[in-house]
């Protein structure tokens, strides 16, 4: 129905209701008197018609969506009717110095009852007739009977197109136990969710406790997911209250939610001092970490943001994304370049003159690098050397190397090359005005080449999920958290530190796979899990620091400094000179030996030549 048709129908219905109200009110008091020939009653009827339509228009009674009517709309009706009756009182007193008090009181009650009834009937039709037609409603449990939960329940009840039928609330507040909210019973005890799901045949769970702590929320989410029922969470309560988002913005629980990690609180002032109004260069800007660092950095309004990468498609994608949200004061400068091209890197440094560099360009896939060790050497070692030495030569203020936990006691070429890259940065820091630092962290959920996208693809195909070993564990962190901590660590650098991010507790890959199966709406036994055996270069578990590098005190929440010792500059120069001519086996033996702090002795004749 169009707005014009609906308004016409409401005006016509109101005209009849208003006319009947005043005549019925008078007739109830004087049943033997002819109401049709009473001149004062006729004047009052004309007055009430005019006054009602005026106040009904003023209070928006013809504009409101009455299928969503509630207390606010009822208040508008009472105000409009009350002022209408007051207008009639004024007219009656002016003309006759008398007022039909009892008749007008009955008229007021009839007026409110009939006008309110006509409006609320729209809601009844929507709640009963339309809902009855929709047989595909999912029985929904709302966890949290507070402000957020009741708001969700109300919006869902008013919008059957969401396909949800709220059935029950669950809350840990004993004061709410047994209450009925919107016709739904409140049960106490989130620990009893499995029993309540079975008891009420629940198809969907909505978690509506935005104020709950991260650890508690993680436990609650795991409990809900373990029921096998689809679980969703709501947006922030602030956004719900301000109308920025609605129930339509509810999202499925993601694997990142199950990490149970509190949100990173950054030193915004220190970061702004380093980045605002400066020229920032990010290598590997099209990658998972590099692109997220770009997103985080641009929030601090740098003068220029240089996006350097080898792949044109990925650089184009992040370039287009940032241009949509960047302010006019920040210049976005996409650059296609290979960090292995020393001349090109030095030319770019000379031309663009960056103040801060985040070096995220690297080869990171362990099994692939085992089969292509020289590529890992060229990109991770010589690429880092080129960018870092160019930074020192052109006086860049800060240089941050993005490293990995695989650089600790590595059995593989990828981890060994990253540890060697850390050593290059540490040695350069010894006699440079540039503040060099490396930041080491574990696996990043959802990054390219990580297990999560692979597992999702395998689940989408119906399985099986392939896992190397049932005891395999890894540290995990979300992409935004890792990127924020990299930026924060850069502000703490004094020269040569290897910062280590607090990755929390290691996660078993088998548990990660099982959680993804449940989040995808399957039971564990519906998707097969196969074990393929540990691949070349892999370890059962990763370390962020070896025993000699441990340092207990954090220099910033979730950031501490490892006491990683580099090899001597003389030995480093010798190894760099010999790497290009080594065979794959020699490369691995030399670099893995160095990374694990085994002494690699240069041949006597060559050592003397140095």
The string of pLDDT tens digits covering residues 402-441 is 998 788 888 899 999 999 999 999 999 988 899 999 988 7
The stretch 187-209 carries a mean pLDDT of 87
The stretch 216-237 carries a mean pLDDT of 78
Residue listed under structure tokens 């039971």: 523
Residue 399 confidence class, pLDDT cut points 50, 70, 90: very high
Q: Which helix (H) or strand (E) holds 233?
A: strand 230-233
Q: Quote the CA–CA distance of 146 and 141 in Å, as a whole number.
A: 14
The stretches of 131-230 forming alpha helices (DSSP H) are 131-133, 147-158, 193-200, 214-225
Burial class (CB in 10 A: 0-12, 13-18, 19+), 427: buried
The stretch 520-540 carries a mean pLDDT of 76
List beta partners, residue 436: 399
The pLDDT of residue 63 is 60
Tokens coding 136: 């595909």
Burial class (CB in 10 A: 0-12, 13-18, 19+), 159: middle
Q: How, if at all, do strands 497-501 and 559-562 pair?
A: antiparallel
pLDDT digit string (tens) for 106-140?
Answer: 888 887 787 777 766 766 665 555 555 545 688 88
Lowest mean pLDDT among 480-489, 540-549, 585-594: 540-549
Q: Got the DSSP string for 527-584?
A: S-EEE--PPTT--SS--SS-GGG---SEEETTEEEE-PPPPPHHHHHHHHHHGGG--H
The stretches of 30-67 forming alpha helices (DSSP H) are 39-58
CB neighbours of residue 211 within 10 Å: 11
pLDDT above 70 covers what percent of the chain? 80
Q: Strands across the sheet with 497-501, in order?
A: 331-336, 304-309, 279-283, 356-359, 398-404, 435-441, 497-501, 559-562, 554-556
The pLDDT of residue 308 is 96
Q: What's the mean per-residue pLDDT of the chain? A: 79
User: Is 3.50.50.60 the CATH number for 268-443+477-502+547-595?
Assistant: no
Going from the C-alpha of 433 to that of each of 65, 376, 389, 512, the distances in angstroms are: 67, 29, 12, 44
pLDDT digit string (tens) for 315-336?
Answer: 999 999 999 888 778 999 999 9
| Phi, psi values for residue 134, rounded to 5° | -95, 105
The stretch 241-251 carries a mean pLDDT of 54
Q: Are 527 and 459 in contact (CB under 8 A)?
A: yes
- Cβ neighbors of 506 (< 8 A, separation 6 or more) are 473, 474, 475, 541, 542
Beta-strand ranges (E) seen in 457-552 are 465-467, 473-474, 476-478, 497-501, 507-508, 529-531
pLDDT at 180 over 70: yes
Q: How, if at all, do strands 164-171 and 184-188 pair?
A: parallel
Cα 270 → chain centroid:
25
Select which of 176, 204, 406, 588 is catalytic.
406
pTM of the model: 0.62
Q: Got the DSSP string for 274-316?
A: HHTTSEEEEETTTSHHHHHHHHHHHTT--SEEEEEES-HHHHH
Residue 228 confidence class, pLDDT cut points 50, 70, 90: confident
Burial 391-402 (b: 16+ CB within 10 A, else e): bbebebbbbbbb
Tokens coding 294: 């770009």
pLDDT at 221 over 70: yes
The pLDDT of residue 605 is 36
The stretch 542-553 carries a mean pLDDT of 55
CATH pick for 138-253 out of 3.90.1150.10, 3.40.50.1820, 3.40.50.720, 3.30.310.10: 3.40.50.720
* Residue 213 region by backbone torsions, left for phi larger than 0, else alpha for psi between -120 and 50, else beta: beta
The pLDDT of residue 607 is 40
Choose from 41-50, 422-431, 561-570 the range with maximum mean pLDDT: 422-431
pLDDT above 90 covers what percent of the chain? 20
Higher pLDDT, 135 or 602: 135
Is residue 563 among the annotated active site residues?
Answer: no
pLDDT at 238 over 80: no
> What does DSSP assign to residue 256?
G
The pLDDT of residue 207 is 86
Length of the chain: 610
Residue 606 confidence class, pLDDT cut points 50, 70, 90: very low
Domain with CATH 3.40.50.720 in the chain: 138-253, 268-443+477-502+547-595
Q: Are 67 and 123 in contact (CB under 8 A)?
A: yes
The pLDDT of residue 252 is 63
The pLDDT of residue 546 is 53
pLDDT at 601 over 50: no
Any idea what the Cα angle at residue 375 is, between residues 369 and 378, rounded to 5°? Answer: 130
Going from the C-alpha of 562 to that of each of 172, 192, 405, 408, the distances in angstroms are: 43, 44, 12, 11
Any idea what the Cα angle at residue 441 is, between residues 436 and 447, rounded to 5°? Answer: 115
Residue 39 confidence class, pLDDT cut points 50, 70, 90: confident
Residue 543 confidence class, pLDDT cut points 50, 70, 90: low
The stretch 561-570 carries a mean pLDDT of 81
């Amino acid at each position: 129905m169009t707005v014009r048709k609906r308004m016409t129908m409401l005006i016509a219905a109101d005209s009849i209701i208003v006319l009947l109200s005043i005549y019925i009110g008078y007739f109830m008091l004087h049943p033997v008197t002819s109401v049709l020939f009473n001149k004062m009653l006729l004047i009052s009827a004309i007055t009430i018609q005019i006054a009602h339509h005026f106040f009904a228009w003023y209070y928006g009674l013809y504009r409101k969506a009455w299928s969503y009517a509630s207390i606010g709309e009822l208040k508008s009706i009472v105000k409009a009717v009350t002022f209408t009756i007051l207008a009639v009182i004024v007219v009656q007193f002016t003309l006759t110095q008398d007022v039909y008090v009892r008749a007008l009181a009955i008229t007021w009650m009839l007026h409110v009852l009939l006008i309110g009834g006509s409006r609320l009937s729209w809601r009844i039709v929507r709640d009963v007739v339309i809902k009855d037609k929709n047989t595909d409603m999912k029985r929904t449990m709302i966890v949290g009977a507070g402000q957020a939960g009741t708001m969700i329940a109300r919006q869902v009840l008013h919008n059957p197109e969401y396909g949800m039928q709220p059935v029950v609330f669950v809350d840990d507040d004993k004061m709410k136990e047994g209450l009925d909210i919107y016709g739904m019973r409140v049960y106490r005890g989130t620990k009893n969710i499995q029993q309540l799901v079975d008891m009420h045949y629940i198809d969907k769970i909505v978690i509506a406790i935005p104020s709950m702590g991260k650890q508690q929320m993680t436990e609650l989410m795991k409990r809900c997911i373990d029921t096998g029922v689809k679980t969703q969470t709501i947006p922030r309560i602030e956004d719900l209250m301000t109308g920025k988002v609605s129930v339509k913005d509810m999202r499925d629980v993601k694997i990142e939610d199950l990490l149970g990690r509190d949100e990173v609180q950054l030193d915004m002032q220190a970061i702004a001092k380093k980045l605002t109004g400066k020229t920032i260069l990010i290598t590997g800007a099209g990658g998972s970490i590099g692109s997220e660092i770009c997103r985080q950095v641009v929030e601090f309004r740098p003068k220029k943001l240089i996006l350097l990468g080898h792949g044109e498609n990925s650089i184009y994608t992040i370039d287009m994304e940032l241009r949509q949200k960047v302010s006019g004061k920040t210049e976005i400068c996409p650059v296609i370049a290979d960090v292995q091209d020393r001349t090109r890197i030095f030319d770019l440094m000379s031309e663009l003159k960056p103040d801060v560099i985040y070096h995220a360009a690297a080869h990171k896939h362990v099994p692939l690098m085992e089969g292509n060790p020289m590529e890992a050497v060229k990109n991770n070692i010589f690429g880092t050397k080129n960018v870092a030495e160019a930074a020192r030569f052109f006086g860049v203020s800060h240089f941050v190397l993005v490293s990995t936990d695989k650089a600790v006691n590595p059995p593989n070429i990828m981890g060994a090359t990253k540890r060697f890259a850390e050593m290059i940065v540490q040695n350069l820091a010894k006699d440079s005005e540039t503040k060099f630092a490396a930041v080491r962290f574990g696996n990043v959920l959802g990054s390219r080449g990580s297990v999560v996208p692979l597992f999702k693809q395998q689940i989408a195909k119906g399985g099986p999920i392939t896992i190397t070993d049932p005891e395999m564990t890894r540290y995990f962190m979300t992409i935004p958290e890792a990127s924020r901590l990299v930026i924060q660590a850069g502000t703490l650098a004094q020269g040569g530190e290897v910062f280590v991010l607090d990755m929390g507790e290691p996660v078993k890959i088998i548990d990660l796979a099982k959680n993804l199966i449940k989040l995808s709406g399957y039971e564990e036994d519906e998707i097969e899990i196969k074990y393929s055996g540990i691949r070349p270069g892999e370890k059962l578990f990763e370390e962020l620091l070896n025993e000699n590098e441990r340092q207990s005190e954090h220099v910033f929440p979730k950031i501490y400094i490892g006491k990683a010792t580099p090899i001597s500059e003389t030995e480093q120069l010798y190894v760099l000179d010999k790497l290009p001519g080594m065979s794959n086996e020699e490369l691995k033996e030399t670099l893995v030996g160095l990374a694990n702090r085994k002494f690699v002795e240069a041949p006597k004749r060559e050592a003397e030549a140095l």
